[in-house]
Amino acid sequence: MIFYACDIPEDLTYDIERDVWIRFDGEIATLGMTDVAQTRCGKFAALSFREVGKKVAQGKVLVTIESAKWVGPFPAPFSCEIVATNEEAFAKNILLANKEPYTDGWLVKVRPTNLEAESSHLVTGEVAAEKYKERIKELKVNCLRCID
């Protein structure tokens, strides 16, 4: 779905409060920043990734993101272990998440460690689209993506 130019793919799972999208593939989850979040953040300037193998509690920092407007955490939507980062791709193109937040701009791949107990806040499909529609209006966001 698209609201105010913000893309909210209905085939993903979302932690709306933390502005994180999740793509589950077996026991691994790929995580990234939503279109709404990358717009609010602005053009990325630097990323500091936690190391592969690190165990991170729900809500704690997986990646620290710096932009001209903001420095802050990309938080874990659930407790997990980092199994891969997209650090190499971001080293080649720092604007990946600003251009393609749901594909090439993924940030980390993780193995959830307590998903059953920590997943009640996650939403998908139409529920996610409706909640994001409200959030977009509340934050007065009109999404923009960087282009080449």
Q: Considering its fold, how many domains does the chain have in total? A: 1
Of the two residues 42 and 111, the one the predictor is more confident about is 111
The residue segments making up the domain with residue 103 are 16-123
Question: At 40, which helix (H) or strand (E)?
Answer: helix 35-41
pTM for the whole structure: 0.92
CATH of the domain at 64: 2.40.50.100
- Whether the per-residue pLDDT at 55 is higher than 90: the answer is yes
Range of lowest pLDDT (75-79, 91-95, 102-106, 137-141)? 137-141
Where would I find the beta strands (DSSP E) of the chain? 2-3, 6-7, 13-15, 20-25, 28-33, 44-49, 55-56, 61-67, 71-75, 80-85, 108-112, 123-124
For tokens 């990234």, what's the residue? 32
Other C-beta atoms closer than 10 Å to the C-beta of 33 total 25
Task: Please indicate, yes or no, if residue 135 is contained in any of the structural domains.
Answer: no
Q: How far is CA 135 from the centre of its chain?
A: 15
Task: Please indicate, yes or no, if residue 131 is contained in any of the structural domains.
Answer: no
Task: Please indicate, yes or no, if residue 77 is contained in any of the structural domains.
Answer: yes
Q: Look up residue 34 and give its two tokens.
A: 């939503």
Q: pLDDT of 69-87, one tens digit each?
A: 889 999 999 999 999 999 9
Residue-level pLDDT at 146: 65
Task: Please indicate, yes or no, if residue 140 is contained in any of the structural domains.
Answer: no
Give the pLDDT band of residue 148 (cuts 50, 70, 90).
low
Task: Please indicate, yes or no, if residue 142 is contained in any of the structural domains.
Answer: no
Above pLDDT 70, what percent of the chain?
95
Residue-level pLDDT at 1: 60
- Whether the per-residue pLDDT at 3 is higher than 60: the answer is no
Of the two residues 115 and 7, the one the predictor is more confident about is 115
Question: At 125, which helix (H) or strand (E)?
Answer: helix 125-139
Task: Please indicate, yes or no, if residue 134 is contained in any of the structural domains.
Answer: no
